[in-house]
Structure 1
């Protein structure tokens, strides 16, 4: 009988991750922090501005020259005005682009494209980002399939604890 060594929970097997979390199904993956406040958003913006390369673009404001920092005061004003323009930030984890569109001030949502996760190192780089966000906000961060009615949760991160859901 062939014995398969048990995978420690935080060290997932790359082949399994490729078939599940990062399967090439044409959909994005969503990163959520639920029930956030504007203070949480400000903490997230400060974290990414400080620790990662960022491109921040607001339609009709700075499209020609994306800013290298997100302006938290601008975003707060933009939410209050319910501007019809679009605002987006890209946070770079090397070649992995984490996109944020500032849809609602009550939920922090980021998107990633699974095709950009090409190795276990890339996966670990993404997990480090999720841990950094969870630690900064003191909240759970989840990685799910793209918005559907009842999305499959792939990973839950609480502080330094990375929990992989049972994946089919």
Structure 2
């Protein structure tokens, strides 16, 4: 896809975020994702009332596994840095791996390619499909599907034409 098409569809400035999902995730998938981001990307991880004053530079997979089992848990989040692109993770549940990005941080084709490299790395690491959708809508328009090294742009209707 060309940058102008991506900018007007996938990364349009509509006030919403874009969600990145790995559906039917397991705790083993989460552990593999955590190992990937800790190893390959700059990370800032915080846990409310635990390390807010000094975010950690790596996510503690054992802490997260126990955190999911705690009924009185506090909030925890991580930011993964792809240069100036911030990929947010809030660890909502162990059944689905979700990340968020802000479309306004994707400012050129090189930024898009950097994000696609991350999605490919996640897909290859987990052996699962990664999708990027509109924010917080489970049956939302899927913009991108990544299976291993294969990146597929869904048909996106814009005006009278389709973008592939």
**Shorter chain as normaliser: what TM range?**
over 0.9
Does 2:26 correspond to 1:37?
yes
Deviations 1:148-168 (A, max 9, x none): 252010000000000000001
Does 2:116 correspond to 1:142?
no
**Distance (Å, rounded) in 2 between the aligned partners of 1:101 and 1:33:** 14
**Distance (Å, rounded) in 2 between the aligned partners of 1:84 and 1:151:** 29
- Tell me the residue number matched to 1:62: 51
Match of 1:129 among 99, 105, 118: 118
Query: What secondary structure sits across from 2:140 in the alignment?
Result: coil
- Give the 5 Å matches for 1:74-113: 74-113=63-102
Q: What TM-score, normalized by structure 2, do the two folds share?
A: 0.94
The Cα of 1:147 is off from its aligned counterpart by 1.2
Q: Which has the higher strand share?
A: 2
148-157 or 46-55, larger mean C-alpha shift: 148-157
Q: How many residues align?
A: 157
CA RMSD of aligned residues (A): 0.7
- Tell me the residue number matched to 1:47: 36
Structure 2 residue runs of 5 or longer lacking an equivalent are 158-164
Q: What TM-score, normalized by structure 1, do the two folds share?
A: 0.92
**Distance (Å, rounded) in 2 between the aligned partners of 1:125 and 1:83:** 37
**Distance (Å, rounded) in 2 between the aligned partners of 1:127 and 1:70:** 22
Question: Runs of 4 or more off by more than 4 Å in structure 1?
Answer: none
Deviations 1:128-162 (A, max 9, x none): 00000000000000000101252010000000000
